[in-house]
Amino acid sequence: MKGKGKTRVNTVKSPKKPLIFYYFVFMLALFLINVLLMPNLSEMKIQEVDYGTFITMTEDKQIDQVEIQTNRILFTDKEGNVYKTGLMDDPNRTERLYASGAQFSSEIIEEMSPLLSFFLSWVAPMLIIILLGQLLTRKLMKSAGGANSMMFNMGKSNAKVYVQSTDGIKFTDVAGEDEAKENLTEIVDYLHNPEKYKEIGAQMPKGLLLVGPPGTGKTMLAKAVAGEANVPFFSMSGSEFVEMFVGMGASKVRDLFKQAKEKAPCIVFIDEIDAIGKKRDGQMGGNDEREQTLNQLLTEMDGFEGNNGVIILAATNRPESLDPALTRPGRFDRRVPVELPDLKGREEILKVHAKKIKLEGPVDFNRVARMASGASGAELANIVNEAALRAVRDGRKGATQADLEESIEVVIAGYQKKNAILTAEEKRIVSAHEIGHALVAAKQTNSAPVQKITIIPRTSGALGYTMQVEEGNHYLMSKTEIENKIATFTGGRAAEEVMFGSVTTGASNDIEQATKLARAMITRYGMSEDFDMVALETVTNQYLGGDASLACSAETQTQIDKQVVELVKKQHNKAIKILMDNREKLNELTEFLYDRETITGEEFMQILNG
């Protein structure tokens, strides 16, 4: 939601100033004034002269009064001017001075009157500082438009409030994610018509937790709920609560809920809630501020009754790291998964975003969606935008199918590297490598067919790649399918071996992926005979890359490693066999790709079946 409907509400209690800070600055200023300025003030009129001048003046009987201090001599002439000079080893000085008629005194610099001294050293600096402070405050307030400068804004939530705007996001703007929308529609209905629920005694959930990988539209969904329900929408990121000073976050939470209750019915959206909602582990040196903030949040959520019209939505992509107290019923009691879009969802998201750009010629969104398998909503939005940018770059009037297809590659693999020059030898190896993948994939009946093969280097570092297309949605994968996938990963290296009898570094990414799959088969999917259905690994970061940590003894680890090697080796050999059996096709296809640099799936299949 942007533009018109956005207002900021500043109806909060006066900001708390960190008094200790002012106190400290004030004391420092006083100290400096007293140490540096005051002594100089009283000695401003004293002229410094060398010892020779002092002697000459003594001889010329020009000295009126003299005072010998521990480290200097002060004296005045007949006109009353005050001089000073350094102290020297001069045994006859006193006699000479006496002879010259100088008077010995101890009060050459007249002490200022105690009242004046007090005024100068304490009252005046205080006045100056207070005045400066006032001036600064006024200036800061003005430049911050009221009360938003950091200093004066601590402990106050700066939740942005979006009030009923006409250009608000609606559910129709969020494509796909039907289950999540269904779940949230109930909330909208409640906000429209709370009586219906109160009559039966049904309690609305206080909080809903949107969980899913980044860029799947969690923020959008939350905004859409507010847009549909036409209620104010407070949005704040979890990290905004955490401040430098302990207690500030907690006071922000209090403030946010106070504002929300005033504006009820309304929606409070806390993005990246894991920033404050992490498990309290009780370790030494834990983050006090974060824990206090979390405690305050827990208290606030307990503090209001179910049906008071404040609904809290929160988003995270690390639900497993949240504190159990936060996810228990009564707080965030409903969890709404917002997953990566499936084929249909991807197509719809593409269409929603394509409406914002100009298209030229027929565009097959289904084909683009199939090519962009695994892409999130944000990536799809990016793909559409890249296509439009490409059209502008080429001076065309609208984006075409080709633009969309190319931009998938840009988003997935980076831009084409214009000046990466491969030697003929390298180019041939890369061709063989990519054809190896494609050929192994195509020859295994269950593998997805190839969409496109290219050997144009990309900025991501890929020298070439094979784009596979999944025909439909896949929710389950059989053991054979995973094995075939591993064989396909090893196909590139296998082709190098079959054709050139040597290997290159080009397969490093394949190796990584093949190993990951093989390991998961054994440790997580129970697909090995020896370990049966025992979980040997647990996934810690489901939505952020899916890191896994081993949970077994060292001996078992050794066995796992052995089995992983065996598994990959077996598939590697299978791939070599497939390529050996199709040696002629491998040569023919490699030459074809070498000449063309990019070939389509159809061309590939034609040669393969021809």
Catalytic residue set = 434
Least distance from ligand ADP to the Cβ atom of residue 353, Å: 6
Binding to ligand ADP by residue 319, rule CB under 6 A? no
Q: Distance between CA atoms of 287 and 250, rounded to whole angstroms?
A: 13
Least distance from ligand ADP to the Cβ atom of residue 365, Å: 13
Cβ neighbours of 593 (radius 10 Å): 27
Which residues in 364-384 are b (16+ Cβ under 10 Å) and which e? ebeebbbbbbebbbbbbbbbb
Q: Which is nearer to ligand ADP, 372 or 381 (CB)?
A: 381
Least distance from ligand ADP to the Cβ atom of residue 331, Å: 21
The CA R_g of the chain, rounded to the nearest whole Å, is 39
Half-sphere exposure of 562 (CA within 13 A, CB side): 8
Q: Distance between CA atoms of 446 and 462, rounded to whole angstroms?
A: 26
β-pair partners for 207:
312, 332
Give how many residues touch ligand ADP by CB under 6 A: 17
Q: State which of residues 315, 354, 359, 450 lies at the interface with ligand ADP (CB under 6 A).
A: 315
- What distances in angstroms separate CA 92 from CA 74, 89, 98, 566, one per listed residue? 17, 9, 10, 105
Q: State which of residues 125, 377, 506, 601 lies at the interface with ligand ADP (CB under 6 A).
A: 377
Per-residue DSSP letters for 528-589? STTTTT---EEES-TTTT--EEE-S-HHHHHHHHHHHHHHHHHHHHHHHHHHHHTHHHHHHH
Q: Which is nearer to ligand ADP, 214 or 247 (CB)?
A: 214
Interface of this chain with ligand ADP, residues 256 to 285, rule: CB under 6 A: none
Binding segment for ligand ADP among 107-115, 210-218, 256-264, 584-592 (CB under 6 A)?
A: 210-218
Q: Which is nearer to ligand ADP, 218 or 334 (CB)?
A: 218
Q: State which of residues 15, 214, 398, 449 lies at the interface with ligand ADP (CB under 6 A).
A: 214
Q: Which residue is nearest to ligand ADP (CB)?
A: 377
- What distances in angstroms separate CA 461 from CA 283, 412, 417, 431, 467, one per listed residue? 42, 12, 9, 16, 16
Q: State which of residues 204, 248, 381, 567 lies at the interface with ligand ADP (CB under 6 A).
A: 381
Question: Which pair of structure tokens corresponds to residue 223?
Answer: 């905004």
Least distance from ligand ADP to the Cβ atom of residue 2, Å: 11
Q: Distance between CA atoms of 223 and 554, rounded to whole angstroms?
A: 49
Least distance from ligand ADP to the Cβ atom of residue 317, Å: 7
Q: Distance between CA atoms of 401 and 98, rounded to whole angstroms?
A: 110
Q: Which is nearer to ligand ADP, 215 or 232 (CB)?
A: 215
Q: State which of residues 168, 205, 207, 215 lies at the interface with ligand ADP (CB under 6 A).
A: 215
- The 8-class DSSP code of residue 202 comes to P
Letters for 167-186 (x = contact with ligand ADP by CB under 6 A, - = none) are: -------xxxx---------
Q: Where are any strands of DSSP class E within 112-162? A: 160-162
Q: Are strands 82-86 and 598-600 parallel, antiparallel or unpaired?
A: unpaired
Letters for 335-374 (x = contact with ligand ADP by CB under 6 A, - = none) are: --------------x--x----------------------
Q: Where are any strands of DSSP class E within 201-288? A: 207-211, 233-237, 266-271
Question: Which residues lie closer than 8 Å to 172 by C-beta, 6 or more apart?
Answer: none
Q: Which is nearer to ligand ADP, 218 or 263 (CB)?
A: 218
β-pair partners for 453:
466, 599
Binding to ligand ADP by residue 217, rule CB under 6 A? yes
- The 8-class DSSP code of residue 15 comes to P
Question: Which residues lie closer than 8 Å to 586 by C-beta, 6 or more apart?
Answer: 432, 435, 436, 439, 495, 498, 499, 579
Q: Which is nearer to ligand ADP, 125 or 215 (CB)?
A: 215
Q: Which is nearer to ligand ADP, 93 or 218 (CB)?
A: 218
Q: State which of residues 220, 253, 313, 521 lies at the interface with ligand ADP (CB under 6 A).
A: 220
Least distance from ligand ADP to the Cβ atom of residue 322, Å: 16
Question: Which pair of structure tokens corresponds to residue 496?
Answer: 């190098």
Q: Is 208 helix (H, G, I), strand (E, B) or coil?
A: strand
Q: Which is nearer to ligand ADP, 155 or 345 (CB)?
A: 345
Q: State which of residues 378, 469, 550, 607 lies at the interface with ligand ADP (CB under 6 A).
A: 378
Binding to ligand ADP by residue 218, rule CB under 6 A? yes
Binding segment for ligand ADP among 67-75, 208-216, 395-403, 489-497 (CB under 6 A)?
A: 208-216
Binding to ligand ADP by residue 386, rule CB under 6 A? no
Q: Which is nearer to ligand ADP, 155 or 215 (CB)?
A: 215
Q: Is 31 helix (H, G, I), strand (E, B) or coil?
A: helix
Least distance from ligand ADP to the Cβ atom of residue 215, Å: 5
Phi-psi region of 275 (alpha: psi -120 to 50; beta: other; left: phi over 0): alpha
Least distance from ligand ADP to the Cβ atom of residue 274, Å: 13
Report the Cα–Cα distance between both ends of the chain, in Å, rounded: 55
Least distance from ligand ADP to the Cβ atom of residue 211, Å: 10
Least distance from ligand ADP to the Cβ atom of residue 341, Å: 6
Binding to ligand ADP by residue 383, rule CB under 6 A? no
Q: Distance between CA atoms of 222 and 269, rounded to whole angstroms?
A: 7
Q: Which is nearer to ligand ADP, 315 or 462 (CB)?
A: 315
Residues lying near ligand ADP in the complex (CB under 6 A) are found at: 174-177, 214-220, 315, 349, 352, 377-378, 381
